[in-house]
Structure 1
Amino acid sequence: MQAFWTLLCGATECSGDNAENGCGSVIDPYSCIHQILIISIDALLLLVFLVLLICKSCSAKKSIATSWSAHFSPLQIATAGFNGLLSLGYLGFGIWIISKKIKTEQTVLPLHDWLEVLFQGLGWLLLSLTVSIRKLYFPFVGFTRFYVVTGSFFAGFLFISCVWEVVVKNSVSLGLILDIMSLPGAILLLLCVFERQDHGDPNGSLYEPLQGMEPEDIVKVKDNVTPFAYVGLLSKLTFWWLNPLMKTGKHEILQEDDIPLLRREDRAETCYSSAFVKLVQGEQVFEYEGYALTASLFLVKCLESLSERQWYFQTQLIGLRIRSFLSAAICGKQLKISSAASITHSPGEIVTLVTADAYRIGEFPYWFHQIWSTSLQLGLALAIAYYAVGLATLAALFIIIVVVVGSSPLAKLQHKYQKKLMEAQGRRVKATMEALSNMKVLKLYAWETHFKDVVEELRREESEWIGAVLAQRGYNLVLFWMSPILVPAVTFWTCYLLGISLNAGNVFTFLASLRIVQEPIRLIPDVVGAFIQAKVSFHRIVNYLEMPELQNKNVKQKKHEWGVDEEAVIVETTEISWDLNRSSVMATLRNVNMAVKPAEKVAICGEVGSGKSTLLATILGEVPYVNGT
């Protein structure tokens, strides 16, 4: 056993309980124990990899002979290239270590110096080539993903140990750089192995063909589903799936057939500033702090850009779904609403519910996320400000509280004015729709001037409420746009009174953190306005959907076949009325008894207003009050 440790580590003390002579801890990248652990894990991963290759060669499933280039994606090529270069770096570094030891020491012992690097290079080379390129022909997808996830955890361990070595001991070497670069390579492998591959119909059975559709028409319907339904993660992050539509729109005017169909789920039925200042002043924590801060800022800005794009897109997608199902619900309610309720809701009001109210609720998801994100950014900014100026942050917090409290009555007034505006808009749309639908009567009786005056008066009332809403929004804008000016002024004045020293570091940090939240603070009036509009529109739609529907409890239907001598329609009522509040004296029809046999022709005669249409509506179950059956 001692000979093994001497061969591997060059020290027999490594086999004892107290590790000395460079054996060190597991986290130390230069320790013997750390390197033996890496060699063992690499050997285990290579062994599992060889077992998977043997199982693939023994599998009876044959691969379909297709062109490799047809299955390549930009992510696969980037993964193979990056990890291939990384593995070549490991192998070259290992060969350089061997040649240096032979040249200087005339031996390759101990083995742990170069064996770890060669195992790392061989492992990354085989893993990257197989997973990124040959993944399409690999039989065990679940096990392959588990294999790559395990390797990623291993790369994360290497990354943490190397960063610890760089930060704590200020030690930098080519081996540490290669181990740090293994984490981005592992992330690329994860993205590659979880990238969706579709060899069959990518659209599945999203759309079923209509009866009488030709096969070529079916193919067109399936091929025209949006690529967003089946593309991989990288394409979704970068919006690469929009390129075909963009190219089409570049060369010609987009037609209806050029717009792809929706997915199934989208359809109606389904503190770094202070660190930079200290760096400029020459106060570095470690040797390469400037490079680390620059790289961190670049990565953070990339993440911010990707997350914001996805935020905008996903909230618009959710809003599209909300508008879709609200419009469907309103249209469905219109088909079942009772006659008494339909009198109080004109067609113009229904149109306003679909076009204006549903649209405002659909736009609310974007502003909803502004509520919590603004609060989170304010909290983080106050924490950074406390780190920079200490107790003077309380003055900034006081100003923010005063601004929020002062905006509360303005928000209540805006909610009141917004409600009045929606009511005035509904009356104006109702009058306009009535005038347009009865234009023939207006022309015959020369009532155009009268109706024009009525619509203009309603429009004047609506304009007054629009001015009131915009005035309240302006007051909110003035209040919140003043806060970024008041907060630093009051904070620095408080620093002067408390004797807190101000230098370039804490002043720049405070102003930079305040600049970050300046835009979210200025958006607060828009957030409040969108919330109030969505709330008012939501209550309007709910009130409409809660209106009474047609009651068919007095209509009984038989399920069996009709006989020749059996009545098909039987009406036995004492009172029929369109209004539930009317007395029997005001009933539209009284004492109606009628029986109709199958295939029998019945004529209903009577003068205008005698109740012919009411009788037919009674048979259909559309009259709200029927005393009888």
Structure 2
Amino acid sequence: MNLSEPQHVELGEANFFSKLSFSWINPLLSRGYLRPLTLGDIPSISTEDESDLAYRKFANAWESLIRDKSSNDRRNLVLRAITKVYFKENIFIAICAVLRTVSVVALPLLLYAFVNYSKREKKNLQDGLVLLGCLIVSKVVESLSQRYWFFASRRSGMRMRSALMVAVYQKQLKLSSLARQRHSTGEIVNYIAVDAYRMGEFPWWFHLSWSLVLQLLMSIGVLFWVVGLGAIPGIVPLAVCGFLNMPFAKIIKKYQSQFMISQDERLRAISEILNSMKIIKLQSWEEKFKGLIQSLRSNEFKWLAKQQFLRPYAFILYWISQAIVSSAVFLGCALFGSAPLNAGTIFTVLATLRIMAEPVRMLPDALSILIQVKVSFGRIHTFLIENELSKDEVSRFPLQNSDTSVTVEAGNFSWIPEAASPTLRNVEMDIKRGQKIAVCGPVGAGKSSILYAVLGEIPKLSGTVELPNKYSY
């Protein structure tokens, strides 16, 4: 390694000032400027960000919630487990969001104070320096709090995403036969690639949503403080725009749910087609199954298109509301005479409306993302509470204490326990250690089912199955 190149510093090893200014990442940026980065240039991930630790924390919270869950409890356990694990670190994110919101809303008030100071006949230097210091502090607080908010929320989201990805993977290894019929391989891939990924975006959008609402309310308070009753005519169109977004949100939630269902159907079909590709090619059924995939994709595209066609309405409301609200506020000032239409009032109102424009513009998108996250929370919750393979299906005994490898006595097994006729009836097996056994029979005779029964992956209706402590597939 070239000694002239800057040495990277890991986040966990950085000092307070380096963390405060994010200068710990400067060596990596400098090296990337000098030459293309390689894998060895990237700092290793810190211990608290590893997926194994994230999953263990989530698993402990999940198991405790499962133990305490009552039969009539309909609450989402995934959301509760995530909240239980990551509540403390999200308090810090919330504090940063509040500081950023307060510093942003304070800027119109500082502008109002600067304009009034400039109109004084006798200017006090000390007052001017105080205003300048407040402006500098406000901008520094806004910059640092916003960056720490964004960084910490993305970091927390990465941990949530890692934990849920591992949880879904571990769950699919233990699914019962009936649960496997309800969740195909394509759907499980979708839980990891789509739903768990959305969980990684959840902290940022969650804190953005409530902070935008807080910013909007504080901006309205600034308007009333500056223009008094003249702000009332401006609040009316703003409230109307907010209420118009509510039916759009309900419709978007419905379209998002249907879109995810159609996406699962397409992935299920693709998975089954790929598994049967040899037969499809042999029988020349390519065009038929191609048409099936295209029809499923068209259905998926239909719901996605309906969802996207609603987005322009939110943008129309955003652009119209700005002009209407500002005009209504100035009209209210003229009618009520609550504030003079001088430079201080006009500049402050325009600056406040500019700050209010961010919530009006971002809230529909934030609401849409939160709706998608809610759907993903429900899908992962449904998957993680599915039935697992019973540990009582197979009895274990020490291998060194017996010459027997597999023993099945009066075994009755069924893929569907409620079925009238079991899949396997009266199975008797006694396999000695070291024997080589062949299972023969026509298609559908139950050759694969008897292997699944020995492994405990098919529900046992009656009988006993005994295996050594260690066995391989």
TM-score normalized by structure 2?
A: 0.80
Aligned sequence identity (%): 40
Distance (Å, rounded) in 2 between the aligned partners of 1:374 and 1:283: 39
1:601 shift after superposition: 4.2
Deviation track 1:280-311 (CA, whole Å, cap 9, x = no partner) reads 21266743322322232122212211221112
**Cα distance change on mapping 1:452 and 1:623 into 2, 3 Å:** same
Aligned equivalent of 2:45: 262
SS at match of 1:336: coil
Following superposition, the deviation at residue 517 of structure 1 comes to: 2.3
Q: CA deviation at 1:458?
A: 1.5
Which of structures 1 and 2 has the bigger CA Rg?
1
Q: Are the structure 2 counterparts of residues 438 and 225 from structure 1 closer, same or farther at C-alpha, using a change threshold of 3 Å?
A: farther
Paired residues of 1:231 and 1:241 also in contact (CA < 8 A): yes
For the residue of structure 2 that corresponds to 1:395, the secondary structure is helix
Q: Which amino acid aligns with 1:552?
A: K
Shift of 1:320: 1.0
Change in 2 beyond 3 A, CA 1:460/1:284: farther
SS at match of 1:628: strand
Q: State which of 252, 276, 291 in structure 1 corresponds to 2:35.
A: 252
CA distance in 2, matches of 1:605, 1:438: 23
Aligned position for 1:572 = 409
- Alignment deviations for residues 59-85 of structure 1 (CA, whole Å, 9 cap, x no partner): xxxxxxxxxxxxxxxxxxxxxxxxxxx
Contact 1:589 1:611 in 2 (8 A): yes
| 1:524, distance to aligned residue in structure 2 (A) | 0.8
TM-aligned CA deviation for residue 555 of structure 1: 1.6
| 1:614 paired to 2:452 | no
Measure, in 2, the Cα distance between the counterparts of 1:613 and 1:483. Answer: 65
Q: 2:425 aligns with which of 586, 590, 597?
A: 590
Distance 1:506 1:568, change over 3 A: same
CA positional deviation for 1:278: 0.7
Given that residues 336 and 550 in structure 1 are in contact (C-alpha distance below 8 angstroms), is that contact kept between their aligned partners in structure 2? Answer: yes
Report if aligned partners of 1:424, 1:462 keep a CA contact under 8 Å in 2.
yes
* TM-score, with length taken from structure 1: 0.61
Return the alpha-carbon distance in structure 1 between the equivalents of residues 270 and 344 of structure 2.
63
* Separation in structure 2 between the aligned mates of residue 574 and residue 319 of structure 1, nearest angstrom: 48
Instruction: Report which structure shows greater RCO (CA 8 Å, sep ≥6).
Output: 2
Alpha-carbon separation, structure 2, partners of 1:533 and 1:283: 57
Aligned match of 2:336: 498
Give the match's secondary structure for 2:125.
coil
Given the alignment, which residue of 489, 514, 529 partners 2:353? 514
**Partner-residue secondary structure (3-state), 2:457:** coil
Q: Deviations over 1:402-433 (max 9, x none)?
A: 22222111110010011111111222222233
Pick one of 373, 377, 398 that aligns with 2:211.
373
TM-aligned CA deviation for residue 268 of structure 1? 0.7
Aligned to 2:269: 431
Q: Report whether the alignment pairs 1:480 with 2:335.
A: no
Backbone CA RMSD of aligned residues:
2.1
What are the residue-to-residue correspondences of 1:286-297 with 2, within 5 Å?
286-297=124-135
Query: Aligned-pair distance for 1:456?
Result: 1.5
1:108: which partner in 2? none
**Aligned partners of 1:554 and 1:628 also within 8 Å:** no
Q: Which residue of 2 aligns with 1:240?
A: 23
Gaps of 5+ in 1: 1-223
Distance 1:344 1:405, change over 3 A: same
CA distance in 2 between partners of 1:358 and 1:253 (Å): 31
User: Are 2:186 and 2:268, in contact at CA under 8 Å, matched by a contact in 1?
Assistant: yes
SS in 1 for 2:374: helix
Q: Is the 8 A contact 1:396 1:487 kept in 2?
A: yes
Q: Which residue of 2 aligns with 1:555?
A: 394
| 1:480 and 1:525 in contact (8 A); partners too | no
Q: Structure 1 residue runs of 4+, over 6 Å off?
A: none
Report the Cα distance in structure 1 between the residues aligned to 2:156 and 2:210, rounded to whole angstroms. 18
- CA displacement at 1:561 relative to structure 2: 4.3
Local SS of the residue matching 1:591: strand
Task: Name structure 2 gaps, 5 residues minimum.
Answer: 1-6, 54-108, 465-473
Q: Counterparts of 1:119-518 in structure 2 under 5 Å? A: 227-270=10-53, 271-282=109-120, 286-500=124-338, 501-518=340-357
The CA distance in 2 between the partners of 1:389 and 1:322, in whole Å, is 45
- Distance (whole Å) between structure 2 residues aligned to residue 285 and residue 526 of structure 1: 46
Equivalent residue letter for 1:580: P
CA–CA distance in structure 2, aligned partners of residues 517 and 288 of structure 1: 32
Give the aligned residue type for 1:370.
L
CA contact (8 A) 2:256 2:307 kept: yes
| Matched AA of 1:486 | I
- The size of the alignment, in residue pairs, is 402
Which position in structure 2 is the counterpart of 1:159?
none
CA distance in 1, matches of 2:222, 2:405: 81
Q: CA deviation digits over 1:317-362, x for unaligned, max 9? A: 1111111111101110111111222122222211111111111121
